[in-house]
């Protein structure tokens, strides 16, 4: 059975996308730790990063670097938390490898705080701002 993320990537479930590329996509977390909490997700379904094909894993650094700049620019955050929960025991909820990019501000709540589910309107508005910055516009 496809993972929740595979279903979002296939368009079976809604997602507030920042970008969609051949091997990687980014969309907003529906339970954000902070506004702009973005997930960098490979299209290839694998539970662990180590299970991704080498050509997919090789692209991770470039997308991650660009996405952190994008999230900081749009949210005004001076920093981001980049986090991978690689396995259930590490806190991974969805068995599909992914990277969290969470905007952080001095004095904000703990990084692992899970907020209430964001509204689809809030997610769409943030995704639009992030996508515009990602595209250079």
Residues forming the active site:
98
Cβ atoms 93, 112 nearer than 8 A: no
- Per DSSP, 107 falls in state T
Q: Show the tokens assigned to 90.
A: 């590490």
Nearest to 46 by CA among 19, 26, 23: 23
Angstrom distance (rounded) from CA 30 to CA 21: 21
Strand segments, DSSP code E, in the chain are 17-20, 24-28, 38-42, 79-83, 99-104
Contact 33, 111 (CB under 8 A): yes
């Amino acid at each position: 059975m496809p993972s929740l993320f595979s279903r979002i990537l296939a368009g079976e479930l809604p997602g507030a996308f920042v970008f969609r590329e051949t091997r990687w996509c980014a969309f907003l977390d529906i339970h954000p730790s902070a506004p702009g909490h973005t997930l960098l997700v490979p299209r290839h379904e694998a539970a662990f990063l180590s299970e991704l094909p080498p050509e997919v894993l090789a692209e991770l650094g470039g997308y991650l670097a660009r996405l952190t700049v994008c999230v900081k620019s749009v949210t005004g955050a001076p920093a981001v938390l980049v986090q991978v929960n690689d396995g259930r025991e590490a806190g991974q909820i969805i068995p599909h490898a992914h990277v969290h990019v969470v905007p952080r501000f001095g004095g904000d709540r703990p990084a692992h705080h899970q907020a209430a589910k964001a509204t689809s309107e809030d997610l769409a508005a943030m995704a639009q701002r992030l996508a515009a910055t990602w595209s250079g516009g």
